Amino acid sequence: MRAPVRSRGCLYVPPEIKGVKLQLFNRIAETIARAGGSVVRGDPAPLDSLPADVTPIVGCTPALRPMIDRWRKTGRRWIYWDRGYWLRVYATWLPRGQNGGMYRWHVGSFQMQAIRDVPADRLNARPPPVAPWRQDGRHIVVAIPTPTYERFHGIEGWTERTIRALALRTDRQIVVRDKETKRPLAADLDGAHCLIAHGSNTAVEAVIMGCPVIVDRSSAAALVGRTSLDDIERLVRPDREPWLRSLAYSQFDERELIDGTLWRHIG
């Protein structure tokens, strides 16, 4: 287990955050403040001039992307957080979390980028419903990113480019899936050859449901899937246990966000 983080954190709270979500942000901000950190609300500009020993803590806000790109170039430490990989509070087709659900936190990346050698205790405590890998599927499911996600990652037009590229590589039927659809993910994955996404958590859920995936390298699902459409007929179905263990060590419930557990694990 890592020692508690030594640098101070600065949580960014976007102006559009309201209601229950704002209450969560405020509780985390209070914890960070007690540890000597701070909070920036609304205008994100102050994040770019924080002292070197203060770590910006940010989410999927398009206005932040130029800053994040600069931090990456300069080697500045930053943290990204979002809803968890499973046991989320909403926007999920897996069982929902209780008491606020799970949230993923990563240093210097948007999602988990490596499988770590960690124990199975966190996974065993709250495991997802893992299904056997599917075989011999027929159609392809393409998960459409939201406009906000597209702007944040600079991938406007991703869906159209992906469908055109698939047409050159396969004659399989393509099922386009919008994030706002009420159709269960399991229904689209029934009989599917694979799911294709950029970085949507739908890909993580698909892998847990036993469906192979093709995703961008920035997706946590890339560690158990493919990252090129050229591999549309060369899918992989690896052992998911080490991956799931690592995911469990990358997501935390609300209690763990404020009691020190988070900081002990992400360092």
What are the 10-residue block averages of pLDDT along the chain, 267 residues in total? 57 91 88 87 93 93 95 95 92 83 95 97 97 96 96 97 98 95 96 98 98 98 98 98 98 88 83
Provide the residue ranges of all domains of the chain, joining segments of one domain with +.
8-125+246-266, 139-238
Residue 266, class by beta-carbon neighbours within 10 Å (0-12 exposed, 13-18 middle, 19+ buried)? middle
Top-level CATH class of 139-238?
Answer: alpha beta
Angle at the Cα of 122 from the Cα atoms of 3 and 118, rounded to 5 degrees: 60
Q: % helix / strand / coil in the chain, to the nearest 5?
A: 35, 15, 45
Q: What is the pLDDT of residue 267?
A: 61
In terms of Cβ atoms closer than 10 Å to its own Cβ (0-12, 13-18, 19+), residue 186 is middle
Is 141 within 8 Å of 192 (Cβ atoms)? yes
Residue 8, φ and ψ in degrees, nearest 5: -85, 150
| pTM of the predicted structure, to 2 decimals | 0.92
| Residues contacting 180, CB < 8 A, separation 6+ | none
Q: What was the pLDDT predicted at 6?
A: 46
> What are the backbone angles phi and psi of residue 21, rounded to the nearest 5°?
-65, -40
pLDDT at 3: 38
CA separation for the pair 177, 175 (Å, rounded): 6
